[in-house]
Amino acid sequence: MDFNNIISLLGGLALFLYGMTMMSNGLEIAAGNRMKSILEKLTTNRFIGIGVGALITALIQSSSAMTVMVVGFVNAGLLQLENAVWLIMGANVGTTITGQLIALDISRFAPLLAFVGVSFIAFFKSQRLDAYGTILAGLGILFMGMSMMSGAMEPLRTMPEFVNIITKFQNPFIGIVVGAVFTAIIQSSSASIGILQALAAGGVITLPSAIFVLFGQNIGTCITAILASIGVERNAKRTTIIHLAFNIIGTIIFVIIALTTPFEQFMMSLTPDNVPAQIANTHTVFNLVTTILLLPFGHYMAKLAYYVLPILPEKSNGMVLKHLDFNIFNNDYRLGSSAIANTQLFREIQNMLDVVQENVNNTFDLLNDFDEDKIDLIEQKENYIDFLNKEIIRFTTMTLSFELPASGTQAIGLFLKVASDLERIGDHAMNITEHARVIYNSKDYFSKEALAEINEMNLYTEQILHSLQIQDFAEFKGLLPRVDELENAIDDAHDRYSKAQMLRLKEKACTIENSIQYSKILTDFERIGDHALNIAENFDEIQSTVQDLRMLHEMNQLQPAQ
């Protein structure tokens, strides 16, 4: 194999990998919005789950992207672990489509495909045609790379040293290790199998030499999901364990079959003169049969994941994020990230709202019963509110730079506004705390009438903040009118209490200093209502901006499959 062959091999490999990346990116863009509507069809039925997983993976041409998306969905709470089993099984079936496309050997049409694809990109100003053009151009470049690699590797057939290495692949252990390591390095089973097919097309390798490498490639593809699970919560890590277990179990089964039955001869007999097709067919049979065999044991695979990573006793959360996971930005796959980011923001906002409401209640309580220890607790929670606001700002900033669909990013920007309003409510709670301290230190206490009004203020704020505490996206509907009604009631109460306080001051039932503190509390009370209304308006706009919130709600309600 001379220097020109090496250059051709490297160039062909570059074209092949780049073409696959182009095709995958184009398919992700074209299918991204549809993907969510497809997932909307997902039910607790295992067969539909497998079909959905296979279909999405076939569309995006990457089981790695699909598995990373599933890990993210489980981590965000959009998907239960038991249902993720079926999606992972389907992803392993769907990934075989790439090998089958390569086996069709449409290399002679590759330049035409590339030309048509580039024409779509260059001459039309349509996002849809641009995506389709990227798919066609990527497919054409992929096959041109395949042809270059196959031609460059033909001389290897007559090299005794290389033939000797290839024969070692017939050892199950060596073949599996080589396939797993090579796939882990390039992080794509589709690409590694395509390269294996290129070797076969060049006459360098046969199915008996490739079969154990092929089995190992199914294990190596798990590396992407393993990397994606680093730093996520334990349930998402269990998803990766299921993916790895599926492929290891399948490899063990097929190694036994290959060693004890004429399986190789049977697969070769289906397409005797087409080794790339033999490899593609073996890959398809591996994933189909493994899925069928493991289908009745899906629950046990989930239990195995819990056995490997058991549930840990809950620890004090302290100043930590409960729902935001910055690891979604650590992979190259965008599919599903918008849904994950929106859901995580929604839940962290609700966590922030819980803390804010608790602080508001505690500050009003101080006006009735001042307690220095309670102030320490209020200040700790105020620091936590500020921490959450800063982290939400950081998360949304990273999300908005992550090239997500426009509808998803619009909602993310609105969640940022909600966090800002919650932080301001927390500030008003701290203002009331300071007023309570001033009153306590001056011993100039409120009258019974003023305290009764303050208790009513507390009741109003509790009602309006409680109305914002919703469990899922479905409750956005009808929220704004309820909050608007409560905000109007707060404005009316503010006017009534102001007049009552002026009357008390006129009748000398309170001091001027006392009246000043009361007026400031009234202002904070009214501002809390204003910010609560802002939050409700943003929630309402989120509902009209993101059309797939209903799907996310339904996915969140999924129960374990029967």
In tens, the pLDDT along 242-257 reads 888 898 999 999 999 9
Which range (69-78, 120-129, 344-353, 383-392) has the least confidence?
Answer: 69-78
Min mean pLDDT across 110-119, 398-407, 428-437 is at 398-407
Band of the pLDDT at 550, cuts 50, 70, 90?
Answer: very low
- Pull the structure tokens for residue 244: 């790895």
Tokens of 53: 């997983």
* Phi and psi torsions of 321, nearest 5°: -80, 135
C-alpha distance across the termini of the chain, in Å:
57
Cβ–Cβ under 8 Å, residues 431 and 394: no
Q: Which two tokens stand for residue 174?
A: 């060596």
The pLDDT value given to residue 62: 65
Asked if residues 50 and 89 have their Cβ atoms less than 8 Å apart, the reply is yes
What's the rounded mean pLDDT across residues 74-99? 78
Distance in angstroms (rounded) separating the CA atoms of residues 165 and 162: 5
Averaged over 60-69, what is the pLDDT? Answer: 68
The winner for highest mean pLDDT among 240-254, 295-309, 325-339, 444-458 is 240-254
Angle between helices 207-220 and 189-201 in degrees, nearest 10: 170
What is the rounded distance in angstroms from the CA atom of residue 523 to the CA atom of residue 491?
10
Residue 497, token pair as written in the block? 């209490």
Classify each residue of 233-245 as buried b or exposed e, where b means 16 or more C-beta atoms within 10 Å of its C-beta. bebbbbbbbbbbb
Mean pLDDT of the chain: 78
Q: What is the model's pLDDT at position 40? A: 47
Instruction: Report whether 221 contacts 186 (CB < 8 A).
Output: no
Poorest-confidence range of 38-42, 141-145, 179-183, 239-243? 38-42
Pair of tokens at residue 41: 């069809």
Mean pLDDT is lowest, of 319-333, 425-439, 515-529, for 319-333
- Count the neighbouring beta carbons within 10 Å of the beta carbon of residue 201: 24
pLDDT tens per residue, range 119-131? 888 888 777 788 7
Percent of the chain with pLDDT over 90: 12
d(CA 484, CA 320): 32
Average pLDDT on 277-303 reads 89
C-beta atoms surrounding 412 within 10 Å: 24
Confidence band for 422, pLDDT divided at 50, 70 and 90 = very high
Q: Specify the pLDDT at position 106.
A: 67
What tokens does 507 get?
């009748």
Nearest to 150 by CA among 196, 108, 212: 196
State the amino acid at position 511 in one-letter form: T
Given this model, what pLDDT does residue 541 score? 81
Angle between helices 3-40 and 127-153 (to 10 degrees): 140
Question: Do 218 and 189 contact (CB within 8 A), yes or no?
Answer: yes
Report the pLDDT averaged over residues 85-101.
82
The larger pLDDT score, comparing residue 51 to residue 17, is at 51
- Burial class of 299 by CB neighbour count within 10 A (0 to 12, 13 to 18, 19+): middle
What confidence score (pLDDT) does residue 554 get?
Answer: 44
Q: What is the pLDDT of residue 141?
A: 84
* Mean pLDDT within 307-311: 80
pLDDT per residue over 144-171, tens digit each? 876 777 677 667 666 666 656 766 778 8
Helix axes 189-201, 127-153, angle to 10 degrees: 40
| Crossing angle for the helix pair 549-556 and 337-368, to the nearest 10 degrees | 80
Phi, psi dihedrals of residue 559, rounded to the nearest 5°: -105, 160
Lowest-confidence pick of 32-46, 279-293, 537-551: 32-46
Burial of 441: CB neighbours in 10 Å, binned 0-12, 13-18, 19+: exposed
CA distances from 501 to 269, 498, 506 (A): 95, 5, 9
Q: Are 467 and 486 in contact (CB under 8 A)?
A: yes
What local confidence, expressed as pLDDT, does residue 1 receive?
54
d(CA 203, CA 100): 18
Instruction: Give CA–CA dist 274/280, Å, rounded.
Output: 10
Residues 162 and 164: their CA atoms lie apart, in Å, by 5
Helix (H, G, I), strand (E, B) or coil at 227: helix
The DSSP result for 50-82, as a single string, is HHHHHHHHHHHT-HHHHHHHHHHHHHHTSS-HH
Q: Which residues, other chains included, contact 111 with Cβ-Cβ below 8 Å and sequence gap of 6+? A: 140, 144
Q: State the number of CA atoms in the 13 A half-sphere of 413 facing the CB.
A: 11
Q: Which two tokens stand for residue 89?
A: 């099984």
Task: Give me the pLDDT at residue 290, please.
Answer: 92
Q: How many helices (H) and strands (E) would you count in the chain?
A: 23, 0
Percent of the chain beyond pLDDT 70? Answer: 77
CA dist., res. 238 & res. 306, Å (int): 7
DSSP class of residue 558 equals: -
- The residue written with tokens 């800063």 in the block is 390
